[in-house]
Each structure stands twice: as structure tokens, then as C-alpha cells.
Amino acid sequence: MFRKINLSRYILLCFTLISIGNSPAISQNGLHGYIASYPAQPPASYGEGYGFYSAIWPLISTPVANFQIGLPSSWIIPDNSDNTTTALCPVGTVARDNWPERGPTYSDVFQTVEGGPGYWAGNKFHYGPPKFKMNSTPNCYTQEISTPGWQFFWSDTPLPDSILGIAQLSNRILIPPDGMTFQGNPNGDLLGISYMSLPLTPACSGEYPVGEKSWTCFLNAQNFKGPLAYYLPETWAKISKNYPFDHGRGLDSRPTTRNLAGGTMEFNTVPIMSATDASQNRYYKIPRLQFPVDSLNRTILSKDVTFYSKNAIYNAVLAWRNGGQVPSGSFTASGTYKPVMRTYPVTYDQNGKTVAGINEVATPAVFQSNAFGLKWTGNVTDGMGNFPEYFKDSANLRVAVPVSKIPVSTGLLDKQFNAPSENPSPYHAELKGSWRTPGPVAGPFFAYLSDHSMVTYFWYRFIDQPVFQQFKWTQGKKDSLQLLVETMQRNWTIEQTYMKAPSSGSLVAFDTALFVTPPTEYSIGYVPIVVAQEKGEANHADNTPAGFPAIEVYPNPASHSLNILLKSNPNPNSKLQLMDLTGKILQTIDLHNMREVLNTSSLSSGIYILNYTDGIFSEKIKFVKAE
């Protein structure tokens, strides 16, 4: 006997099952490749600095999770062309143990200065435009050093004290671990980026020889010009401690190679959806990638690539360090070389399969010999060019197809890519080790950035910032560098010229929330070091994060003395009461400094309470008096 069926319900059920079965799956490896330009090699002496202007714009209109594409960025490696046979990377490093194809010398993965503007899969806080980050790999990709405290993402906590490698120079701007944010909605505005080797400290020997090159990041934006931070020479020299072949081969001693890519875009991690139609044809979708296009159908990605010799600024800084006049900081024309650039079509791939259809609408091109970008022949609307979003397998290629050719049954048309987490974990450095001793002189202070994050920072004396505490420098060496930086901060302001202005185009502006003004008593010789970055929630009554501890004490237990560290500058109402467990007040201390030492030698063994109040905070903390 045949059973009567409601046909409309049957059709709906079948369509639902087909839709569920074809629900697009999201994976990675959606697009990989390098849009790169290459300079004609400059004369041999032009390996002491390298710079260019990079365009800044929102590459995607809506933030996407697990997305990483670098906008035009740096790539600097030491010149070890005299070595053609011996491995620069010791056994035990990531490159040596995992990338045999880079042998025999591993010179291109030995040490790098890279980073720049871009989007990274590790970003926690998103707002639309890209961010700027320094980055380096000093030991064959075993570690990456990206800010005065943190590595290149993937960790909420700072690098170990012994790995820190960047010293902050500027006392006017913050360097958050998630990257430096830009103001507004830039649309191809330019950021100048130069790395210059400066002889800030003399070469020395000890556990391993250390050269005198301090690779320093200079930026040129509307509202910030000049040195931001630098890599200590020791950062590069450390790898040779137990591997003598590397003595004198790092970026502390060697110039950069002179065949660098001139502001390369790396397509690293792009999510991709895939689904089949009723005939089992497979289609793919990636996020829409957008580029600003001018009236000549060009996207300018980078321009004014420049190499520098020691005449640009190195020699003037060396003379200054040796007692001469303070240089202006500007890169002199006599030490500057602008090469002719060249470029080639990009080999794009998805999951290892070559992609066709992108070069055909956006072809890499050099404009006016030293500007580089894309020449568009299609996919341009209202001044924005778009890479193809949809693709289909065709023999050995993955071919771009128009949206009109995507079957509705695939589900790709309406499916959205995953958004980043709305509640990312915070970056946080505990005030211990190099972060505590000698420690900050003022703070905490807070800044609320355009990416909806809150940054916490303290003011440190320049030579007391965490990176320096791992080294056993003489007091004389510390004093000399401190004095040099004080003079630099006094004379090299963020308004004057260092890099030559771009040959055309306007400069981008950094987020105004990044800018800081030092407290009056710490106006010269101090730097703002970021210790935390988290989702921006604040107790706006006092502009302080809710739950932020007022004091820390150490050691605990204490025998003879207890160090007390205040987390903010004391005010006239700040005081500390020492009490026993019954609440009896044994001592009252009026606080005038962020650090105090309590003599505990006369106390009997046991548990005590410190009661802190300043009219805003009130906090009690217990400590143990030991024999």
C-alpha cells in the first residue's frame, strides 16, 4: 500500500537536507603569495640603512578571524655573502632543525628585521584599518621580538627577561603589544619606515663579541616623526655565545644585504570556504580584499625605496657619541641612494594549487621607476579595486569566477567568515624581575585606543627599562647611553624632519590616543613602557581600571625589610598603616614615593596587614614576617 505524502513538506525537507549537506566549510590557506618589488643593487657602502613609504588602508571592510596579510613591510638580513658553505643557524634552532631546504648556510633565515603595517592572525583587538608592528628574528626563528616587552603575538605574557631585545627611545608615543593603531580611516596615505644602523654604544667583548650597530626604527607620519625604538646589538650577538662561527656575523656587526625586496606584501593566512553544487562541482570563497585605486587605475603600495650609507646619519652619531656636536637627525643626501625598481607577476596559490585570475585584473607594476603597486584592468568600483572572491577548480588550476556564476545551492553567497573573539584575553606583564628592578618611577597610566583596547603603562628611566637588566654593564656604560638618549629626546623632536618627505602623496596619522606627555619631573630621559593591554573597560570616575591593585609587596615572607611598590603616584592623602591581625595599628607611614621600604626586623614572627588608602583606592594586603 502506498502512503500519501504532503509534497510541499517533502520538497522543503529535501532542500533543507541538501543545504545542510552543502554547508560551506571554513579552513585556512585561502591565498598565499608575495606582491614584491626588487631594487637594482646599490653600491657596496649602502648597507647601513633601508627605508620606504608604505600605503596604509583597510584591506578588509569587516574584521575576520585568523587573517594575516602584511602590507608593504621591511625585510633586512645581515650580509654574509662571504660564506657559502657553513650553517649560520646552530643545531637546536627552529630553522636549522626544521627547514633543511634553507641550507647549507641558512642565511635568509638567520636574522631578520621585518614587520611593518598589516593584519595578523594573532591580533586580539580589531577596528578596521591595519596596525604597525616592528618585528625581528634574531636566532633563526626560534624567537621573534616585536615590542619592548612582547614577542610577535601568540602569548599573553612578555618574553623571558633574557630574550628581551628592543629598547624604547621615544618619550612621546606608546608601543602596545597588539600593534600601533592609526587615526580615522586612511585610504592609501603613506607611512615612512626606515631602519638605520646607529652606533649608540661601542663594540665590546665578553661572553661573546658585540658590534656597535643599533638598528633603529624611524617613522614618518603626520603626527610622529623620528626614532621610535631600537634593537640592542646584544640581541643579534647572543646567538654566537655557544657557536663561535657566528662571531661578527649578526646585524650588530654586518651591514644589510643590498638585494632587499622593496616593500613586500605577504599573503600569509587567509580563511577560505568551500562547498559543492548539485553536480559536485567545488567552489571556493575568500574574504573580499580591497585596494585604493587612483584616477590612473593604479594602487600605489610602496614608494621611495632608499638605501643609506654611513654618511646618512651613522658617522654624525658616532662623532656625537665621541664628544662632538649633536646632529640634526636628518638623513643627509650624501648618504642616500634611490634604486630603480622592478617587479614580476605573483604566483598565488590556494592550498598549494596555483590561482588564475588575480594577476589578470591587478598586475604588479613599477611607476616612475621608484613607486610600486598594482595596475588595474577591472574589478574597480568607486575608487576601490577588489581581488576576486570566488574560485572554481579547473584542471590543475583554481580559477577566479564572477559571483554570478556561483550556484545558490553552494551556500557560499550568504555565508560569512568568522569574526574575531569579542572577549580576547589580555596582554599582561607582572611587575617582577626586570620589570620591577630597578622598576618604574611613575604610573600606572592608561590610554584608550581606537581598537577599543585599554593600554596600561608606567614611566621608566630609559636605562632602567626591562630590556637592559639582563646585561652586566658597567655604570659608566649605562651613564653614557642614558646621557646620549637624554640629549636625543631633548633635540630630536617628533615634529622635525628625519626621512625625506615622500615624492608625492599625503602622510597617515597615528591614533592620537597613543601619544603621551611625560610627567614634568620625568620629561627627559624617561620612556613609557606598556605593561598591559586589554579590552577597554574602565572605572571612569577616576580613569583607572576596576580591580587594579593599588600596591604590591615583596619579598613575602620578609625577614628584615619589605619592599612596597605603589601602582600609582602617591597624592597628599596616600598613607599606609601596618596592623596586626586584631586590627591594631602598629605604624602609620605617609607616602611620598612609588617605592618604599618597611623595616620589619623588630617585628615578631607572624602575619601582618598593610592597609593602603589614598582617598581613591583602599586596599589591604597580608604579609608574613619570618625569622
Strand partners, 26: 273
Whole-number percent of the chain with pLDDT over 90: 76
Give me the pLDDT at residue 590, please.
87
372 vs 20: which has the higher pLDDT: 372
Q: What is the pLDDT of residues 202-259, one digit of tens each?
A: 999 989 999 999 999 999 999 999 999 999 999 999 999 999 999 999 999 999 997 7
Q: What is the pLDDT of residues 382-398, one digit of tens each?
A: 999 999 999 999 888 99
- 534, 365 Cβ separation under 8 angstroms: no
Give me the pLDDT at residue 619, please.
82
- For 166-195, what is the mean pLDDT? 97
- For 441-451, what is the mean pLDDT? 89
Give me the pLDDT at residue 98, please.
98
Give me the pLDDT at residue 549, please.
56
Residues 6+ apart with CB under 8 A from 493: 226
- For 171-186, what is the mean pLDDT? 97
188 vs 581: which has the higher pLDDT: 188
- 273, 284 Cβ separation under 8 angstroms: yes
Give me the pLDDT at residue 149, please.
94
CA distances in angstroms from 562 to 70, 96, 436, listed in the order given: 48, 47, 14
The confidence band for 10, taking pLDDT boundaries of 50, 70 and 90, is very low
The confidence band for 82, taking pLDDT boundaries of 50, 70 and 90, is very high
Q: Which of 416-420, 494-498, 551-555 has the lowest mean pLDDT?
A: 551-555
Q: How many helices (H) and strands (E) does the chain have?
A: 5, 37
The confidence band for 443, taking pLDDT boundaries of 50, 70 and 90, is confident
- Give the type of residue at 230: Y
Predicted TM-score of the model (pTM) = 0.85
Residue 245 main-chain phi, psi, to 5 deg: -60, -30
Give me the pLDDT at residue 201, please.
98
Q: Residue 277 CA to chain centroid, in angstroms? A: 42
Whole-number percent of the chain with pLDDT over 70: 93
Give me the pLDDT at residue 541, please.
36
Question: Would you kindly state where each structural domain of the chain is located, as residue ranges?
Answer: 549-627
Q: What is the pLDDT of residues 545-599, one digit of tens each?
A: 544 556 778 787 888 888 887 766 777 888 899 999 888 999 998 888 777 889 9
Q: CATH number of the domain at 549-627, out of 2.60.40.3080, 3.30.1370.30, 3.40.50.2000, 3.90.850.10? A: 2.60.40.3080
User: CA 254, 469, 624: angle at the middle one, nearest 5?
Assistant: 160
22 vs 162: which has the higher pLDDT: 162
- For 505-526, what is the mean pLDDT? 95
Q: How far apart are CA 299 and CA 193, in angstroms?
A: 19
CA distances in angstroms from 473 to 198, 464, 469, 479, 498, listed in the order given: 19, 12, 9, 10, 30
Q: Residue 572 CA to chain centroid, in angstroms? A: 39
- Give the type of residue at 240: S
Give me the pLDDT at residue 294, please.
96
| Sign of the CA dihedral with 98 first, then 231, 221, and 534 last | positive
Q: Residue 137 CA to chain centroid, in angstroms? A: 12
Q: How far apart are CA 586 and CA 591, in angstroms?
A: 16
DSSP conformational letter for 239 = G
Query: Across all residues in the chain, what is the average pLDDT?
Result: 90
- 500, 222 Cβ separation under 8 angstroms: no
User: CA 54, 346, 281: angle at the middle one, nearest 5?
Assistant: 125
> Are β-strands 397-401 and 353-356 bridged in parallel, bridged antiparallel, or unpaired?
parallel
Give me the pLDDT at residue 471, please.
96
3-state helix, strand, coil in the chain (%, to 5): 15, 35, 50
124 vs 14: which has the higher pLDDT: 124
Give me the pLDDT at residue 20, please.
40
The confidence band for 262, taking pLDDT boundaries of 50, 70 and 90, is low
Q: Which of 74-88, 287-301, 591-605 has the lowest mean pLDDT?
A: 591-605
